Amino acid sequence: QRIERIQDGGPSGALLTGFRALDNLFGGLPPTLCVVVGLPGQAKSAVGASILRNAAKRGENIAAFFPEDRKEWLAYRHLAHESGLSQFALRNCKLPEGDWNAYGYADAAIREWTGTVYIDDRRGIRPADLLLAARQAYQEKQAVAVFVDNMSSIPFARGHRMDLEISDFLEE
């Protein structure tokens, strides 16, 4: 049925990443749990933040959990991307007028799409609380994706499969 629905022009249920090569290769991310794994410093969070931004710009509702970083991290990342300014300059420097204008444009652009993103940055969030918040975002805010940055900082009980639980309600 799904194949026929897609062939008839219906939605695939996939989340487009905004990265043309990935979307062409995979058709977007499937409506299930996708885990990005890599060594520290290999841009996993940056890729996730970019996918989140691209989906939000299309008006898609996303739930994002940052158990290790504050949501300000995401704001600086998006402001830097939209304005073309460095995060260092945004955080630490008095901006010249041209850069201040770029910041103002970026801030206004981001405000247009951030309403589609539910962000939870509770440190030390327990798996049960994360699962509950993700399910609520799915049910109440119609979140089409759940983004968890740095799942390794969440204290899972041995053998607990939160990935399967999240996957189950995303596939409903």
Q: What is the pTM of this model?
A: 0.74
* Residues 52, 116: Cα–Cα separation, whole Å: 10
Phi, psi dihedrals of residue 113, rounded to the nearest 5°: -115, -5
Q: What is the pLDDT of residue 84?
A: 92
**What is the residue-level pLDDT of the chain in tens, covering all 172 positions?**
666 766 666 556 778 889 999 888 888 887 666 777 777 788 888 888 888 888 888 888 888 888 877 788 888 888 998 899 999 999 998 988 889 999 999 999 888 887 888 888 888 888 888 888 988 988 888 888 888 887 766 766 666 666 666 666 666 5
* Residues 56, 36: Cα–Cα separation, whole Å: 19
Residue 64 in contact with residue 52, Cβ under 8 Å? yes
Q: What is the pLDDT of residue 92?
A: 92
For 142: left if phi > 0, alpha if psi spans -120 to 50, otherwise beta; the answer is left
* Residues 27, 69: Cα–Cα separation, whole Å: 30
